[in-house]
């Protein structure tokens, strides 16, 4: 691709980009949120028509727009935002809109063939007749990858395929990608998780503000070099220093049982403490968070906030008591995609800028702008719909809006999914600032490095049970990974 440009209104998403992909290579595409990665992916997959520039496939000038052309040229994509149709079954989804596939599928064999495909991405436990709606975000992502495997494509694109996945699932996805490349296919791999880059990519292309830097072989780079290329500066610390914890418990969870938990869960959170919950897909870690948020009615147990029992009956009830909750599924309950960024950011704390019931638009704007600036969300776009932001920037809005509220307890699921390294460090710092003000924070995350770096106390979950809870200092990465996988420690 040569001198490729694409503009959205006032935003230059791609500016004179040069990009080259060789047969059989895995090319990592890196860059800060909004740098243009997904836009390039959309151009290659024929969803977006570039304003200018030239594209060649096998040395011949080729038009990849619209997507039928791109598919004919052998391109297949797993997009950043999952595209499965929720009300259809898993098996139906695997064949949906897949040119040249449906003719060979008929109901008798459909489920059986779907089962085989699901197994290759580690979804053996999923019944092909399940409605896609009922899958978790991670399962939906794996389903997208299975969809891609149905197609016989020669250019495969993965736009942050592992953002929603835990270690074991990531292993599986990386193995699948390695196999595809070994078969001679070319792979473009977009991610914010740098360790993955060094495990599978042959070369790296970094995007900065819509421009591409010349590709470099991974063997000539290390993590620090890549970060500097991405940010244009060094990153000093990823995780801020821990503070002191209060003595009295802030939140006491006693014998909590809810859907997805097979054993009652008890633990406490002190003021200033970040408790990290981690486990594989379906481990129960996120069920605890959802129950505490009032999203899953508890079947047993009680929860005390500053010594007084609180109701987990509904989200409204917990919100009333000062419990902020940032969901893992931002598309479902994190953002209002059609609404402006400013409104999204102010939704949790709008009352605080409406003395006497009248919203002070000026105060609202000032506060929203301050949050946006902190997370490098373009403050000139406060009036634009959140849906027009890049994936990582949407996530920053979903997390950032709570940071302007004045909660007592903050619950977060996968808070930095898809967020670039610079903004991630900002989010961690902000959470520590809240701790210093006496907040208690519970983070459920499948990112081992995040759990270790951020938490004061870490609890592991396995099949609906809290298995071990210890201060962070008593964990090593190895011990944590083993505990999460429920394996014996090496002798």
Nearer to Mg ion, 32 or 364 (CB): 32
The upper half-sphere exposure of residue 174, i.e. CA atoms within 13 Å in the direction of its Cβ, equals 19
Asked if 311 touches ligand ATP (CB under 6 A), the answer is no
Binding of ligand ATP by 397 (CB under 6 A)? no
State how far Cα 294 lies from the chain centre: 22
Calpha distance 342→223 (Å, rounded): 35
Question: For the window 373-392, what string marks contact with Mg ion as x by the rule CB under 5 A?
Answer: -----------------xx-
Residue whose C-beta lies closest to ligand ATP: 392
Site for ligand ATP in 60-119 (CB under 6 A): 80
388 makes contact with ligand ATP (CB under 6 A): yes
210 part of the interface to Mg ion, by CB under 5 A:
no
Q: How many CB atoms lie within 10 A of CB 144?
A: 22
Which window, 147-155, 282-290, 384-392, 450-458, contacts ligand ATP (CB under 6 A)? 384-392
With contacts defined by CB under 6 A, how many residues of the chain interact with ligand ATP?
21
User: Residue 318 — φ and ψ, nearest 5°?
Assistant: -75, -35
Q: Does 395 bind Mg ion (CB under 5 A)?
A: no
Residue among 122, 260, 391, 464 that touches ligand ATP (CB under 6 A) = 391
Under the binding rule (CB under 5 A), the answer on residue 38 touching Mg ion is yes
Residues 416-475 that bind ligand ATP (CB under 6 A): 418, 420
Among 30, 39, 122, 188, interactor with ligand ATP by CB under 6 A: 39
- Residue 6 Cβ, how far from ligand ATP at the closest point, in Å? 8
Is residue 5 at the binding interface for ligand ATP, with CB under 6 A as the rule?
no
Residue 191 binding ligand ATP, by CB under 6 A: no
Distance in Å, CB of 146 to ligand ATP, minimum = 22
**Nearer Cβ to ligand ATP, position 36 or 440?**
36
Q: By CB under 6 A, is residue 390 in contact with ligand ATP?
A: yes
Minimum CB separation of residue 4 from ligand ATP in Å reads 12
Residue 249 as a binder of ligand ATP (CB under 6 A): the answer is: no
Residue closer to Mg ion by CB (options 37, 270) is: 37
Q: Of 4, 13, 188, 454, which one interacts with ligand ATP (CB under 6 A)?
A: 13
Q: Of 84 and 191, which has the nearer Cβ to ligand ATP?
A: 191
Name residue, tokens 């929720």.
86
**Chain residues in the site for Mg ion (CB under 5 A):** 37-38, 80, 390-391
**Chain residues in the site for ligand ATP (CB under 6 A):** 8-9, 11, 13, 31, 33-39, 80, 388-393, 418, 420
């Amino acid at each position: 691709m040569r001198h490729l440009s694409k503009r959205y209104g006032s935003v230059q998403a791609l500016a004179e980009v040069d990009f080259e992909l060789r047969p059989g290579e895995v090319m990592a595409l890196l860059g800060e949120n909004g740098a243009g990665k997904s836009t390039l992916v959309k151009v290659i997959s024929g969803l977006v028509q570039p304003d200018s520039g030239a594209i060649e496939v096998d040395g011949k000038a080729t038009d990849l727009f619209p997507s039928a052309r791109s598919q004919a040229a052998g391109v297949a994509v797993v997009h950043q935002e999952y595209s499965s149709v929720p009300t259809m079954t898993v098996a139906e989804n695997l064949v949906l809109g897949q040119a040249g596939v449906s003719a060979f599928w008929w109901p008798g064999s459909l489920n059986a063939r779907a089962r085989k495909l699901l197994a290759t991405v580690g979804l053996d436990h999923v019944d092909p007749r399940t409605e896609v709606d009922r899958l978790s975000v991670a399962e939906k992502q794996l389903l997208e990858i299975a969809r891609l495997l149905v197609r016989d494509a020669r250019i495969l694109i993965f736009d942050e395929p592992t953002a929603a996945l835990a270690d074991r699932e990531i292993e599986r996805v990386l193995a699948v990608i390695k196999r595809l490349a070994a078969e001679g296919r070319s792979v473009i791999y977009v991610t914010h998780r740098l360790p993955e880059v060094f495990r599978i990519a042959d070369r790296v292309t970094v995007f900065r503000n819509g421009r591409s830097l010349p590709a470099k072989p991974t063997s000539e780079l290390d993590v620090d070099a890549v970060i500097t290329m991405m940010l244009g500066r060094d990153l000093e610390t990823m995780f801020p220093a821990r503070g002191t914890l209060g003595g009295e418990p802030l939140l006491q969870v006693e014998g909590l049982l809810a859907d997805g938990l097979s054993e009652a869960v008890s633990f406490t959170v002190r003021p200033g403490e970040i408790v990290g919950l981690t486990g594989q897909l379906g481990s129960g870690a996120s069920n605890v968070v959802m129950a505490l948020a009032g999203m899953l009615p508890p079947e047993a147990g009680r929860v005390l906030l500053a010594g007084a029992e609180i109701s987990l009956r509904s989200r409204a009830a917990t919100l009333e008591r000062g419990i902020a909750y940032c969901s893992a599924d931002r598309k479902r309950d994190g953002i209002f995609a059609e609404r402006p960024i400013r409104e999204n950011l102010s939704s949790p704390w709008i009352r605080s800028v409406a003395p006497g019931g009248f919203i002070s638009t000026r105060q609202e704007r000032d506060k929203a702008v301050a949050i946006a600036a902190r997370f490098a969300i373009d403050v000139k776009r406060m009036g634009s719909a959140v849906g027009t932001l890049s994936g990582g920037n949407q996530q920053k809005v979903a997390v950032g809006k709570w940071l302007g509220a004045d909660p007592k307890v903050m619950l977060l699921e996968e808070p930095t999914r898809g967020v670039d390294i610079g903004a991630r460090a900002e989010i961690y710092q902000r959470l520590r600032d809240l701790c210093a003000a006496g907040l208690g924070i519970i983070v459920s995350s499948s990112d081992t490095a995040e759990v270790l770096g951020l938490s004061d106390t870490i609890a592991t979950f396995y099949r609906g049970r809290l298995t071990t809870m210890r201060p962070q200092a008593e964990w090593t990465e190895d011990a944590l990974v083993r505990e999460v996988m429920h394996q014996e420690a090496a002798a």
